[in-house]
A and B are shown apart, each in its own frame.
Chain A
């Protein structure tokens, strides 16, 4: 990287540094600040003064020290070796950092994101004299036991191959292909650089019709999202945001998971780091770490790097999307990112809008969420990036700017509810405040692959939940006794549904993940209980009598007792339930 002095420091305020005498810098150029060469980025140029946000602690930096330019924007190294690595917000591998500087992160350490010593088994796909266009697969590398890494022609290169490496073991920086382009000969190593703030190009966006299966019943059945969709998960502290994010990271059926711990707790990242290598993905039988990248910028790490971390994450996601993978990124939490934006904006003395956030907050949020989607990549294969962003509204108040603006750019919303969390009902996703605009687009998939009646079953239970919430208001005023049995049956059905279906124990071996077939069958059983119960009551039976049926306790425990491999047991339960009810019905003529 060509580094040259471009100016000298004139002022330091926290993470913001002003440099004077800067004539040849670009906007958003990556720079090195001071004698210690702290990493920073130019965010404003005013005459010959450049404003730089510094990604490391600026203690001890003095006016007059030099600033070095790199000639390029903040970029990532994209190549084999990303999977299974833990990075900070500006793609420094934390494990290597630990080996270099010990348990605490010190400053001014510059290490490459991808190991230069590790060798990868490269298999060429293209041949000599092949014409290449951007995004084409030059060759492949088995990155982990799960992921075949495709070495791509970078998006800005096209021409004819004049040289290509034969199959063999190479480090990432070894030139594996030479390409003659209109502007000269380009040598391609196994990795390339891409600026984090620019979305990678693709051929076009596709329809979002394939659900992202998460194994979490409240999500898959009530508020599903598609591969390539966007969802916000808002909730005050202690409402289980991180639990939801982690459950998704563990169980969702994306090929690659990128987990961004943005301004969150250090111990949570450690938890992820401990669990992921040990947790086995139920679909592949391999450790989850074999398909995950973790970006950790905890709350005490520099604030500017926190701002960069979500771009780092989404750029990596796009890179794997371009290889044809389905990628899911979990950003926990976008509020911390917005706060980083606010902090930097404040230091730059910009005019604040709502609650001190800069006026460009919605633009930035939109820019981030719009990088999600299911696309045809440059090579013509499908790939997707799904974004699951958690939001931490201050005081749990959803009317604050970050939640409100986020709502404009996502199409699904999983509102976490404090009362549910207090009662330890997890996942604490509220069935009344949440929504998914994707239901209609996803329904055909469910109807084709799982159950033709999926949509009507789902709508029916949603309606019952609505009814129940209205009835609850009555109960709050006058108690349940005054309600007729038909209405109390609605209350009871909803209670069964909440306890036996919506509530899911993340630590129970069977319950932590439910296959789609199990979800629909469980739902059908609960609705059958409702219909049969209603019929009986109309014929004169009492609810008390119905509730004494022993089969109900089987229904209440079916989530624990029926494993994913034996869902046909639920058919048996359904049959027996129908039979029990019709036998009872006979007694009422």
Chain B
């Protein structure tokens, strides 16, 4: 394999026959593999990169990361590398800033790679996985108390344009820690098509807290070629896998904004003539997203872990849009931000009911957080759900017509939102504080409404 690839590297073709959007069609070539990395020299003598999307006898379709602008049929030279797109990984990547395909952006030389890896990775064998059950304290009550984040989990933030998802992600990245353990923690940050000032906000945030030396940034900004976005999360995860599984670090991967990623995927699919399924997205969107999100996890016998927090903005706040919908089917829950809460000035505007953490059940309770945590979370959900019903009723018949118990629930709803949900951007609540506040707000309900709590728990915590 190696011998052929070194031979191939020298082979250069100028037989481009077509250009269409980011795609390049080439003929009269030999021995080109599927998904292989390609480098092109454009008429100006500049280097561009691409990968093979389709390989056939004597012809190939190539997607060009930097776009095809300025390329011409005659003066474009194409070299095939014989290997898929790779990333040179090393621990020295910590503290550095790279572009969307892993080239340094901070004017420093590229870190010395200890190994070059295929950015597509390989699927983790399900029987080699370790089940995630260690609680990560984010210091945010709505998450820790009701949608607990677990190490090795993939928990996305479903947001909308104009909501505080960046603020929240930055706060989580700053505050996240594992109780009672002092292991090395790193953040890998992948930006896809976000604005420069948003990227800047994150960098500044990491700088201020002195966390920058534990952060790797991959930036594909809004004005960078969209097609590059398709590899950015994969490059970031390849780096994260190296840090987690070779250096035993606990890596939090923040990816924003996955909606932009999906747009790019749709763009390429349309140009290639793939058959669209919903809203023009290709039928393989699910598999494609899964190949990114499933790279989170813990592996038996290895010290590190990868926890993912993808951020996506739901077009028009629609949770049934294909992007959030398919994401929700792959990830282990979701943190949903709600415009209504945000309008009322509540931060973080985490919607009580549609948010969910699937791995929560095994990471909370006695010995992990506190023995009353599971029932408390369940009771808060149930009570808040009743609040929503009562509010709907009140908007029809008016508050005066409500029964006394319904009024009590309205009060509870207010306490819940003002005291439990709301917190300052720099407020880091430990889990005990979160649970105590939970009890304080529940205590505004009469005891016999707490049907999901046991007698002992009510005895011990109610009204304290």
Is A bound to B?
Answer: yes
B412 to chain A, nearest CB (A): 15
B residues less than 8 Å from A102 (CB atoms): 125, 128
Tell me, in angstroms, the Cα distance from A274 to B131 when the chains sit together. Answer: 8
Q: Do B283 and A237 have beta carbons less than 8 Å apart? A: no
Candidates B127, B290, B392, B393; contact of A299 at CB < 8 Å:
B290
Q: Are B35 and A59 in contact (CB under 8 A)?
A: yes
Q: Mask for A419-437, Cβ within 8 A of B = 1, else 0?
A: 0001110000000000000
- Which residues of the partner chain A approach B75 to less than 8 Å between Cβ atoms? none
> Quick check: is B84 within 8 A (CB to CB) of the other chain?
yes
* Chain A residues near B116 (CB-CB < 8 A): none
Query: Are A63 and B55 in contact, with the CB atoms below 8 A?
Result: yes
Residues of chain A from 151 to 189 with CB closer than 8 A to chain B in the complex:
none
CB neighbours (8 Å) of A296 from chain B are 126-127
Contacts of B127 in A (CB 8 A): 86, 94-95, 97-98, 269-270, 273, 296
Contact (A59, B33) CB under 8 Å given A105-B125, A343-B283: yes
Are B354 and A422 closer than 8 Å at their CB atoms? yes
Chain B residues within 8 Å of A139, by CB: none
What's the nearest-Cβ distance from chain B to residue A538, in Å?
24
Q: Give the chain B neighbours of A499 by CB distance below 8 A.
A: 451
Residues of A within 8 A of B358 (CB): 238
User: Known: A299-B290, A394-B325, A422-B385. Contact between A355 and B277, CB under 8 A?
Assistant: yes
B213 within 8 Å of A (CB atoms)? no
Contact B328 A104 (CB under 8 A): no
The 8 A CB mask of A290-313 against B (1 = contact, 0 = none) is 000000101111010000000000
**A479 sits at the interface (CB 8 A):** yes
> Is A566 on the interface with B (CB-CB < 8 A)?
no
| Bound Cα distance A27, B382 (Å) | 55
The stretch from A10-18, A76-84, A226-234, A522-530 touching chain B is A10-18
- The 0/1 profile, CB within 8 Å of A marked 1, for residues 259-290 of chain B is 00000000000000011111000111011001
Distance to closest chain B CB from A492 (angstroms): 13
In A345-377, the 8 Å CB interface with B consists of 345-346, 349, 352, 355-357
Asked if B209 is at the interface (CB within 8 A of a chain A CB), the reply is no
Instruction: Let me know if A481 and B123 touch, CB within 8 A.
Output: no
Tell me how many residues of B have a C-beta within 8 Å of chain A: 84
Closest to A36 in B: B1
Query: Do A270 and B361 touch across chains, with their CB atoms under 8 A apart?
Result: no
A59 touches B120 (CB 8 A): yes
A531 within 8 A of B: no
Complex Cα–Cα for A300 and B292 (A): 8
B131 contact set on A, CB distance < 8 A: 267, 270-271, 274
Residues in A neighbouring B385, C-beta threshold 8 A: 422-424
Q: Which residues of B contact A269 (CB under 8 A)?
A: 126-127, 129
Is residue B124 contacting chain A, with contact meaning CB distance below 8 A? yes
Assuming the A-B contacts A60-B35, A237-B328, A423-B381, are A10 and B290 also in contact, with contact meaning beta carbons closer than 8 angstroms in the complex? no
Quick one: which of B70-127 are within 8 Å of A by CB?
83-84, 118, 120-127
Q: Type the 1/0 row for A389-426, where 1 means its CB is closer than 8 Å to any CB of B.
A: 00010111100000000000000000000000011100
Of B193-201, B395-403, B437-445, the segment with at least 4 beta carbons within 8 Å of chain A is B395-403
How far apart are the CA atoms of A151 and B354 in the complex, in Å? Answer: 51
User: Is there an interface contact between A105 and B401, defined as CB atoms closer than 8 Å?
Assistant: no
Contact mask for chain A residues 484-519; partner B; CB cutoff 8 A; 1 contact, 0 none: 000000000000000100000001000000000000
B330 touching A265, Cβ below 8 Å: yes
Docked Cα-Cα span, A247 to B418, in Å, equals: 37
A300 and B291 contact, CB distance less than 8 A: yes
- Asked if A103 and B282 make an inter-chain contact with CB atoms under 8 angstroms apart, the answer reads no
Chain B residue at minimal CB-CB distance from A333: B329
Given A266-B124, A298-B123, A299-B290, are A60 and B84 neighbors across the interface (CB < 8 Å)? yes
Partner of B129 from A270, A301, A355 at Cβ < 8 Å: A270
Please, how many angstroms separate the alpha-carbon atoms of A267 and B294 in the complex?
Answer: 9
Taken together as a complex, chains A and B put the C-alpha atoms of A263 and B293 apart, in Å, by 13
> How large, as a class, is the contact surface on chain A?
35 or more
- The residues of B that contact A263 with a CB separation of less than 8 Å are 286-287, 290
- The smallest beta-carbon distance between B132 and chain A, in angstroms, is 6
CB proximity of B264 to chain A, nearest CB, Å: 17
Chain B residue nearest in CB terms to A553: B448
Given A238-B356, A300-B290, A479-B393: A346 touches B274 (CB 8 Å cut-off): yes
Rounded to whole angstroms, the CA-CA distance of A14 and B332 in the bound complex is 27
A336, CB-defined interface residue at 8 Å: yes
The proximity string for A residues 246-278 relative to B, scoring 1 for CB distances below 8 Å and 0 otherwise, is 000000000000000101011101110110000
Q: Beyond A238-B354, A267-B129, A422-B385, is A299–B287 a contact (Cβ under 8 Å)? A: yes
Question: Across the interface, which residues of B come within 8 angstroms of A476, CB to CB?
Answer: 392-393, 396
Q: Does A217 contact B (CB under 8 A)?
A: no
Question: CB distance B320 to A396 under 8 Å?
Answer: yes
Chain A positions within 8 Å of B451 at CB level: 499, 556
Q: Mark B38-66 against chain A: 1 for CB-CB distance below 8 A, else 0.
A: 00000000000000011111100000000
Does A355 contact B378, Cβ atoms closer than 8 Å?
no
Is B13 interfacial (CB-CB < 8 Å)?
Answer: no
A389 to chain B, nearest CB (A): 16
Q: Compute how far the CA of A61 lies from the CA of B1 in the bound complex, rounded to whole angstroms.
A: 11
A215 to B93, CA, bound (A): 54
Minimum Cβ distance to chain B for residue A46 (Å):
15
CB of B84 within 8 A of CB of A356, answer no
Asked whether B33 lies within 8 Å of A13 as measured between CB atoms, the reply is no
Contacts of A336 on B, CB cut-off 8 Å?
Answer: 286
B379 to chain A, nearest CB (A): 9
B25 within 8 A of A: no
Q: Which residues of B contact A57 (CB under 8 A)?
A: 120, 122
| A132 vs B385: C-alpha distance when bound (angstroms) | 64
Contact A267 B55 (CB under 8 A): no
- A452 interface hit (Cβ, 8 Å): no
Contact partners of B397 in chain A: CB under 8 A: 477-479
B389 to chain A, nearest CB (A): 9
Taking a contact as CB atoms under 8 Å apart, the answer to whether A12 and B276 are in contact is: no
Q: Is A339 an interface residue (CB 8 A)?
A: yes
Given contacts A59-B84, A343-B284, A356-B277, contact A94 B396 (CB under 8 A): no
- Contact yes or no, A299 B401, CB < 8 A: no
Contact with B along A563-588 (1 / 0, CB 8 A): 00000000000000000000000000
B36 at the interface (CB under 8 A from A): yes
Cβ contacts under 8 Å, A10 to chain B: 56-57
Q: A299-B294, A394-B322 are in contact. Are A98 and B128 (CB under 8 A)?
A: yes
| A112 at the binding interface (Cβ < 8 Å) | no
Contact A267 B132 (CB under 8 A): yes
B368 within 8 A of A: no
The interface residues of chain B lying within 8 Å CB-to-CB of A11 are 54-57
**Nearest chain B CB to A308's CB is how many angstroms away?**
15
**Contact among A64, A261, A392, A422 for B57, CB-based, below 8 A:** A64
Q: Is the CB of A273 within 8 A of B396?
A: no
**Whose C-beta in chain B lies nearest to the C-beta of A103?**
B128
**B57:A346 contact, CB within 8 angstroms:** no
Name the one of A266, A395, A480 contacting B294, with C-beta atoms under 8 angstroms: A266
CA distance A5 to B321 in the complex (A): 47
> Among B224-232, B295-303, B420-428, which stretch is in contact with chain A?
B295-303
* A521 adjacent to chain B (CB < 8 Å): no
A58 at the interface (CB under 8 A from B): yes
Residues of B within 8 A of A106 (CB): 122
In the bound complex, residues from chain A placing their C-beta under 8 Å from that of B118 are 59
Besides A59-B34, A273-B126, 6 more A-B contacts (Cβ < 8 Å) are: A10-B57, A270-B126, A299-B330, A342-B277, A346-B283, A479-B403
The 5 closest A-B pairs by CB, nearest first: A395-B320, A299-B290, A300-B294, A356-B277, A237-B328
Q: List 14 A-B contacts (CB under 8 A).
A: A10-B57, A59-B84, A62-B32, A86-B126, A98-B128, A266-B123, A266-B126, A296-B126, A299-B330, A303-B284, A342-B283, A355-B278, A396-B320, A480-B403
What residues make up the interface of A, taking CB atoms closer than 8 Å to B? 10-14, 18, 20, 57-64, 86, 94-95, 97-98, 101-106, 236-238, 261, 263, 265-267, 269-271, 273-274, 296, 298-301, 303, 336, 339-340, 342-343, 345-346, 349, 352, 355-357, 392, 394-397, 422-424, 475-481, 499, 507, 553, 556
